[in-house]
Structure 1
Amino acid sequence: MNQLYNGMSAALMDGVVWRKSHFSNPSGNCVELAELPDGRVAMRNSRDPEGPALIYTRGEADDFVRGVKGGEFDDLIG
């Protein structure tokens, strides 16, 4: 696998298995996540699968998910 870096095209991430939430709507408005071989987590826009991917450490991804579950971003939606 080539060297992975933040903002690289998700299409260049060979062997990465992307997955999306079951809560995603049929029009594809969602993000997809993938575990990288080194343990980091990548995120991409499902509507632009060849676009840039954001790469997070496990700790960063954990903090984000905890914030979402805790309602810290509820004011940004709905």
Structure 2
Amino acid sequence: MHETLLQRWEHAEPPSGEALSQLLLLIDDWGRLLRSDPGLPAANLDDDWPAPRSARTLSRLRRRLGPGADKEIDQLPRPGSG
């Protein structure tokens, strides 16, 4: 699952106009990964285990997409506002 996430997201540079949808897809992929990862201690894993790369990828894209996603949410119509 880490490799699948990395293939899709590690080198992704999603367009800023689609930040909210891209962030939701990323979070969905991350959630699926977490449900399948046994969470073994790092000391029990090979040095090339991809979990640290996955976590760095998630952090990078959340920092990049978060502000745009917040802006898109702020622009959504509010119930009862119109």
TM-score, with length taken from structure 2: 0.27
| Greater fraction of residues in strand | 1
Q: Which has the larger radius of gyration?
A: 2
Structure with the greater relative contact order (CA < 8 A, sep ≥ 6): 1 or 2? Answer: 2
TM-score, with length taken from structure 1: 0.28
| Greater fraction of residues in helix | 2
